[in-house]
């Protein structure tokens, strides 16, 4: 435990340190496995292909387990101490392992594609391997989008000084930005949730000032990252940036179009919500904006998007669950109780995760912002990073990340190759966990608290649907524009403004500067803040969250109808997420996700909330 009993995690059951015997053993074990795989690839036997493939898959599981564990470990220790040269070097070393693994993978996919007519025979001989068929077919499909082995090797090596390096730069700048008083960038961003209208506005101004000071570096990073990706996509035969992302998400274009279409149809409802919130803030004297929420400019100021709403007579009510400052212990107990209300398995899981010190929640300089869950095949355990400040949304974050970890625990009986599930389904598990907490809270609350929790839910959902649509538009336009020219910070700001207008529209304050060129109260630097845009392997990182949000809403409604029986179905669903396409998996639970109607049913839940909210 550290200050205020906000914990740092305990890593002993992973590795005591980088110098430890355990760590060094696993490194050499991994290197050993690499050479065994290489040997097998050299001696691939076409005449005894089923036997060969069977042994190869077994060894591949071992490689996958070691590599995933070592990589995740390298990342998590770095992420809490981003300027530590030892941790940075270690993280770079993982890139080399990754490159080796990719080399082996490329060779394997060649052999697999050459021998695909022997697969039927393989499954006949090894029926227990039938469950690998989706993965093996995926590898054969992926083969069509590979450059030659030598080109892939070079691309992977060059990425260390290219895309991966640009990505690290963005992360390092963000985690080391501070204001004059030593307040970190993430603390400034957290102020968006604060009750004080002055503080929200001041921190937003400071945030933009700090970003603008580094605009050249951010712009260069994003420009070069996307430039590299476009060149590679072209070489690999992906027509559009999104095609690669869809393949990685195990999702069809039809499904994406249905999802995006449903969100676009719901935009008028979301804008109504933003305007209602702006009006509530204005009416109760809770905004510093001169124009937001007025007749001429009905939209909300960007810095008020996360503002807590209050009725004036309820201010200072310290009994409220939503506005009080939570201790970490209270937050944990609350999440465990809520999980228990859905299933004992889920509740017990969260309790164990907390007791085993899997969570690093303390805010400190040098640590990355936001939150994540990392899963480790070694000992089948997870670690969760968050930046806990005691707000209600920190509890939701905790529920979200523990939901990811619970997902991983449901897959315990599968082989390591099934641990790689697409983000779409990963985000469903975490959002479902969030939904349990929030919906229960709405049900239990009344009056001012009810307004506040509805607002919190709608804020989160609108971030996941409207803001993610905005990010989707932005990224699409970046890919389009970057094809024909280099892009600067100015371009990114312009494209972000356009994307915000297309998604939020007059839900955000539309007041402009005197020259009519810029909006006065929006955030044209969001492209510099969100690290998602800077992850080399993950374009269009964001739509899976929208998928998860609406799919989780659908699952939640099912859970309410079916009661405790649904917990079993849910765990079964999670346990199979690594083995098939999203469409196939969702059909198993009775959902046709290629249809817009399905996604609209998820939005229904929020439409009802907006309707009630507008009456406050």
Contact string 392-431 vs Zn ion (x = CB under 5 A): --------------------------------------x-
| Residue 376 φ then ψ, to 5° | -120, 120
Sign of the torsion formed by the C-alpha atoms of 21, 22, 24 and 25: positive
- Long-range contacts, stretch 253-256, CB < 8 angstroms, 24+ apart: 254/594, 255/582, 255/583, 255/593, 255/594, 256/543
CB of 373: closest distance to Zn ion in angstroms? 7
Residue 156 contacts residue 211 (beta carbons within 8 Å): no
Sign of the torsion formed by the C-alpha atoms of 181, 183, 184 and 189: negative
Residue 489 contacts residue 216 (beta carbons within 8 Å): yes
| Position closest to Zn ion via CB | 430
- Closest of 70, 68, 59 to residue 34, by C-alpha: 59
Q: How many residues form the binding site for Zn ion (CB under 5 A)?
A: 1
3-state secondary structure at position 161: coil
Binders of Zn ion among 423-482, rule CB under 5 A? 430
CA–CA distance, 46 with 59 (Å, rounded to integer) = 18
CB of 430: closest distance to Zn ion in angstroms? 4
* Between 430 and 459, CB nearer to Zn ion: 430
3-state secondary structure at position 428: helix
CB of 425: closest distance to Zn ion in angstroms? 11
| Residue 200 φ then ψ, to 5° | -60, -45
Token pair for residue 463?
């971030």
| Residue 359 φ then ψ, to 5° | -115, 135
Sign of the torsion formed by the C-alpha atoms of 199, 202, 207 and 210: negative
Q: Answer yes or no whether residue 577 interacts with Zn ion by CB under 5 A.
A: no
Helix intervals (H) in 193-266? 197-213, 215-235, 241-249, 253-265
Q: What letters, b where the CB count within 10 A reaches 16 and e where it falls short, cover 30-56? A: beebbeebeebbeebeeeebbebbbeb
**In the β-sheet with 372-376, what is the strand arrangement from edge to edge?**
359-360, 381-385, 372-376
DSSP type of residue 345: H
Type and span of the H or E element at 373: strand 372-376
Type and span of the H or E element at 606: helix 596-613
List residues near Zn ion by CB under 5 A: 430
């Amino acid at each position: 435990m550290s200050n205020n009993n906000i914990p740092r995690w305990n890593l002993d059951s992973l590795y005591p340190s980088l110098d430890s015997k355990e760590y060094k053993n696993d490194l050499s074990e991994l290197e050993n496995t690499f050479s065994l795989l290489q040997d097998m690839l050299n001696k691939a036997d076409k005449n005894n292909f089923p036997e060969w493939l069977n042994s190869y898959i077994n060894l591949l599981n071992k490689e996958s387990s070691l590599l995933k564990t070592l990589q995740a470990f390298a990342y998590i220790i770095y992420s809490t101490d981003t300027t530590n040269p030892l941790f940075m070097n270690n993280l770079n070393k993982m890139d080399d392992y990754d490159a080796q693994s990719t080399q082996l993978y490329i060779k394997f996919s060649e052999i697999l594609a050459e021998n695909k007519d022997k697969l039927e025979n393989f499954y006949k001989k090894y029926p227990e391997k039938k469950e690998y068929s989706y993965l093996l077919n995926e590898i054969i499909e992926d083969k069509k989008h590979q450059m030659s082995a030598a080109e892939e090797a070079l691309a992977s090596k060059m990425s260390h000084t290219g895309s991966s390096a640009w990505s690290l730069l963005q992360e390092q700048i963000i985690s080391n930005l501070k204001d004059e008083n030593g307040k970190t960038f993430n603390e400034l961003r957290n102020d968006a949730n604060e009750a004080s209208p002055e503080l929200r506005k001041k921190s937003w101004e400071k945030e933009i000032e700090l970003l603008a000071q580094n605009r050249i570096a951010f712009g260069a990073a994003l420009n070069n990252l996307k430039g590299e990706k476009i060149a590679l996509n072209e070489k690999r035969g992906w027509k559009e940036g999104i095609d690669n992302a869809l393949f990685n998400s195990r999702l069809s274009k039809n499904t994406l179009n249905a999802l995006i279409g449903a969100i676009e149809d719901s935009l008028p409802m979301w804008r109504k919500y933003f305007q209602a919130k702006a009006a509530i803030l204005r009416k109760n004297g809770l905004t510093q904006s001169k124009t937001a929420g007025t007749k001429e400019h009905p939209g909300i100021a960007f810095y008020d998007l996360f503002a807590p709403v209050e009725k004036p007579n309820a201010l200072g009510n310290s009994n409220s669950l939503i506005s009080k400052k939570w201790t970490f212990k209270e937050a944990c107990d609350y999440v465990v109780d809520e999980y228990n209300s859905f299933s004992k398995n889920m509740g017990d899981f969260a309790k164990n995760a907390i007791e085993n010190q899997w969570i690093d929640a303390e805010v400190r300089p040098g640590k990355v912002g936001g939150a994540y869950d990392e899963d480790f095949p070694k000992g089948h355990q997870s670690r969760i990073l968050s930046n806990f400040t005691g707000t209600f949304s920190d509890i939701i974050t905790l529920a979200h990340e523990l939901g990811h970890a619970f997902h991983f625990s449901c897959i315990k009986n599968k082989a390591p190759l099934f641990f790689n599930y697409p983000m779409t389904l990963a985000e469903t598990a975490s959002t479902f966990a969030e939904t349990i907490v929030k919906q229960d809270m709405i049900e239990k609350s009344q009056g001012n608290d009810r307004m506040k929790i509805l607002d919190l839910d709608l804020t989160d959902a609108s971030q996941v649907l409207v803001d993610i649509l905005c990010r989707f538009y932005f990224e699409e336009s970046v890919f389009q524009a970057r094809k024909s020219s280099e892009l600067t910070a100015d371009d990114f700001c312009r494209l972000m403004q356009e994307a915000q207008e297309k998604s939020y529209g007059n839900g955000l304050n539309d007041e402009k500067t005197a020259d009519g060129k810029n909006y006065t109260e929006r955030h044209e630097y969001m492209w510099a803040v969100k690290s998602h845009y800077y992850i080399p392997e993950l374009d269009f990182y964001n739509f899976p969250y929208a998928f998860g949000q609406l799919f989780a809403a659908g699952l939640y409604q099912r859970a309410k109808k079916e009661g405790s029986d649904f917990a079993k179905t849910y765990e079964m669903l999670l346990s199979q997420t690594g083995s098939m396409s999203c469409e196939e998996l969702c059909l198993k639970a009775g959902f046709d996700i290629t249809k817009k109607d399905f996604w609209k049913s998820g939005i229904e839940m929020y439409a009802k909330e907006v309707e009630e909210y507008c009456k406050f």
